[in-house]
Structure 1
Amino acid sequence: MEKFRTIDEIKNFQSARWISPPESVWRIFKFELNHVHPSVICLPVHLENEQFVTFSANQLLCNIANNPTFKKTMLTQFFYMNKCNAYAKELNCLYIEFPEYFTWHSDSKEWEPRKRNEVIGRIFSCRPSDGEKFFLKSLLLHVRKPTSFRDSRTINGRTFTTFREAAQMLGLLENDNTADMCMEEATAYLMPSALRQLFATVLVYCNPTNPMHLWAKFESFLSQDFEQKHIFSPSTVKHKVLNILSYYLQSMGKRLEDFYSAEPNVTLGFSDSLDKELQTEQDIITPDEDILSVEKLNEEQKNAYNRILYHVNNNLPNVFFVDGPGGTGKTFLYKALLATIRSSGHIALPQPLQVLPHLYFQVGALHIRDLKSH
C-alpha cells in the first residue's frame, strides 16, 4: 500500500507562482511591498457599562466584576483624560482626533502622549437599529472634550435623558415625514392589530426622528379596537396597546423603553402574549372549499383522516407520518384536517417538516407517536 506523503501547500504555492521581472527586481532590492500611511486606529464605542470584556474560563466572576482594569476602555479613558489631563483639556479634541496626540497602551489600558508616528482615528461603524449606541456615536463625532457619558448628552448646559434627544437638539437627525406618510396611508385599510405590528416595524427599521410624536399622532388608530368595546378605561386601553407593541418590539430584539420614555415600567405579561397568539389563530378564516374537501377524500385519505381525528377528538397523544410520492394528495388531506378542526372551534397549528421521504403533521399541541400509521 502506498504511503501517504506530506504535502506542503505553502511550498507548492511559492514554487508554482510566477513573478514578473519588475516584481523580482523590487524583491531583490528589498523595497517595501506594501505601506499604509497614516496608520488607522479603530476606536470602539459602547454605552455605559456595556463594554466588551474578555477573560479566561477559569476566572471567577466576582474577581472580574471587581477588577477596575475591565472597566477601562478607549472611550472611558478618553473621558478620563478630558477630565484630569491638562494637555487633553487644552487640545479640546473630538474622539476621532484623540489618537493623533495620544497613544493607547493595551496592557495598562491608558492613553499616553504620542511621541512619534502619524495616525488617524476612526470609530467603529454603528447602524441606526443599534439605538442609543448609534446616537452616542453621532454625538462623539460632534461634541468636543466630553468628560463622561452624561456630559456627552449635555447640550448648552441641559442634560438630556437619552442620546437621541441630545443628537436631535444638535440637529444631527434629519427631520423627515416618511414614517408619518407610511402610517397615515396604512390607517386607511389596515385593522388596528395589523397597524400595531406595522408601527413596531417602523420604529425598529425606519428609525423615525421622533417616536413620541408618531405615537401621539396615531394612538387613536392603534387603540381603536379596544376603544370600541367600551369596557376598558382610557388608561387600560393605553396599557394594552403598549403591551402589544412591547411584544412585537421584543420579537425584533428591541424594548419599548428604547422608543417610548413615558412608560418605562410597561412590560408584556405571559397571559397578554398568550391571548394575542390565541386570538391570531382564532381569527383564521377557513375557506368553504377546504371544508367541502372532506367529502372528496379517497379511501386511503379517509382512513388517515378518521384515525387522526379520533386521537384529536379523544385528546389522545400520538404522531402520524403521512408517506407517499408527490401528487398523491397529502396536502389535500392536510387541508381537510385543518378545516375540520378549525371549523369545530379548535386551534390547529400545521407544521410540515421534511424528514427523508416522510412528512410529519402536528395538530394543535398534541404530540402523537405512531410510526406505523400512514
Structure 2
Amino acid sequence: MRMLLTHKRGPKSFENLRMVDGVLYGTYREAIKAMGLLKDEETRKQSILEIINYTNDRKELRSTYASMLVFSDLKDQKDIWEETKDLFSSDFLYLRGLKDYNDEIYLDALDDIQEQVFNCGGGNIVHYGLPSSRNGEKSSNVIRREKAYNSKELSETVERALPLLNREQKICYDKIIESVGCETENKSKAFFLNAPGGTGKSFLLNLLRHSSFEE
C-alpha cells in the first residue's frame, strides 16, 4: 500500500488504489507488480547474494538480511533461502564441529534470522516465504532468557523467604498470588504497591517474581 500511495496520484479509495490501467487487482502486491514497481526483485536478490559474498561475519549477514526482510518488503524468499542456506549457516557448522550440513544447522540459522526479524519489529519469518524456525514467534532472546529459570531453585527461594514477610507484606503477597492463579476470573488486574523507602518493597516484589514461574 505504501508503494502504491507513493506512486499513484490522487487515489479516491482503497479499491481505486488497486486499479491499474482499468484492471482491479485483488491485492496491493498484484497492483504494484502490474505497475512494474517490482522489477527490482531480481536486483534485491542480487543485493543479497552480493552481501553474502562480501560479508565474512555470518551474524552480521543474518542481521542485514533480517533488516531487508522487514524494511524492504521482501517476499517469496524460499528460492533465495534454498540457494544460499549453506552460506547463511556456515558459522553454525563450524561451531557444531561438523563437516556436512543438516537440518539442525539450518534451523540454527533460521532461529537467528527469526530473532533478528523480531528485533527489527517484524513478524514470523514464514510470512516472508522462509521455512519456520524451531520456536516460531517464541524464539526471541528475551523470551528465552525469561524462561531460562531453575524451578527447584526458585521454589527453595520462595520457601525460605515466605516466613520473613511481615503482616502487611503477607497480605499483599497473598492477594496478588491469588489473583494470578485465579482461572475463573478473566478480568485483568493491576496492583500498585506504595510504601516508604526501606520498608521491603523490593523484597516483596522479588518474592512475587520468583513465585509466579510456570512449572
Q: Deviations over 1:103-135 (max 9, x none)?
A: xxxxxxxxxxxxxxxxxxxxxxxxxxxxxxxxx
What's 1:296 paired with? 164
What's 2:183 paired with? 315
Asked if structure 1 preserves the Cα contact closer than 8 Å seen for 2:62 and 2:112, the reply is yes
Q: CA deviation at 1:283?
A: 1.4
The alignment status of 1:328 with 2:207, answered yes or no, reads no
Q: Structure 1: how far apart are the matches of 2:146 and 2:108?
A: 19
The alignment status of 1:306 with 2:174, answered yes or no, reads yes
What's 2:115 paired with? 248
Q: Structure 2: how far apart are the matches of 1:174 and 1:249?
A: 20
The alignment status of 1:62 with 2:15, answered yes or no, reads yes
Q: Deviations over 1:249-277 (max 9, x none)?
A: 331156869xxxxx9441469x7324878
Cα 1:66/1:202, change in 2 over 3 Å: closer
Flag the structure with more relative contact order, 1 or 2, with Cα contacts below 8 A and sequence separation at least 6: 2
Asked if structure 1 preserves the Cα contact closer than 8 Å seen for 2:193 and 2:201, the reply is yes
- Between the two proteins, the alignment pairs up a number of residues equal to 172
Could you tell me which of 186, 209, 213 is aligned with 1:338?
209
2:47 partner amino acid: R
Identity of matched residues, %: 15
Q: Structure 1: how far apart are the matches of 2:179 and 2:48?
A: 58
Q: Deviations over 1:309-346 (max 9, x none)?
A: 2333443545433222333322211111122233xx44
Local SS of the residue matching 2:163:
helix
Cα 1:264/1:66, change in 2 over 3 Å: closer
Could you tell me which of 220, 227, 249 is aligned with 2:93?
220
2:148 partner amino acid: D
The alignment status of 1:273 with 2:137, answered yes or no, reads yes
Cα 1:221/1:301, change in 2 over 3 Å: farther
Q: Structure 1: how far apart are the matches of 2:93 and 2:52?
A: 27
Q: Structure 1: how far apart are the matches of 2:94 and 2:125?
A: 19
1:61-100 pair list within 5 angstroms:
61-68=14-21
What's 2:47 paired with? 164
What's 2:72 paired with? none
1:225-236 pair list within 5 angstroms:
234-235=102-103
Q: Structure 2: how far apart are the matches of 1:330 and 1:272?
A: 37
Cα 1:281/1:322, change in 2 over 3 Å: same
Local SS of the residue matching 2:212:
helix
What's 1:131 paired with? none
User: TM-score, normalising length from structure 1?
Assistant: 0.34
1:320 partner amino acid: F
> Root-mean-square deviation (CA), in Å?
4.9
Cα 1:301/1:323, change in 2 over 3 Å: same
Q: Structure 2: how far apart are the matches of 1:51 and 1:63?
A: 11
Q: Structure 2: how far apart are the matches of 1:240 and 1:176?
A: 21
Q: Which has the higher helix share?
A: 2
Extract unaligned runs of 5+ from structure 1. Answer: 1-48, 77-147, 154-160, 184-197, 206-210, 228-233, 258-262, 347-374
Local SS of the residue matching 2:6:
coil
What's 1:132 paired with? none
- In terms of Rg, which structure is larger? 1
Q: Structure 2: how far apart are the matches of 1:221 and 1:300?
A: 56
Q: Structure 1: how far apart are the matches of 2:170 and 2:90?
A: 54
Asked if structure 1 preserves the Cα contact closer than 8 Å seen for 2:154 and 2:211, the reply is no
Q: Structure 2: how far apart are the matches of 1:200 and 1:176?
A: 10
Q: Structure 2: how far apart are the matches of 1:173 and 1:217?
A: 11
Asked if structure 1 preserves the Cα contact closer than 8 Å seen for 2:173 and 2:204, the reply is yes
Cα 1:240/1:204, change in 2 over 3 Å: closer
1:128-139 pair list within 5 angstroms:
none
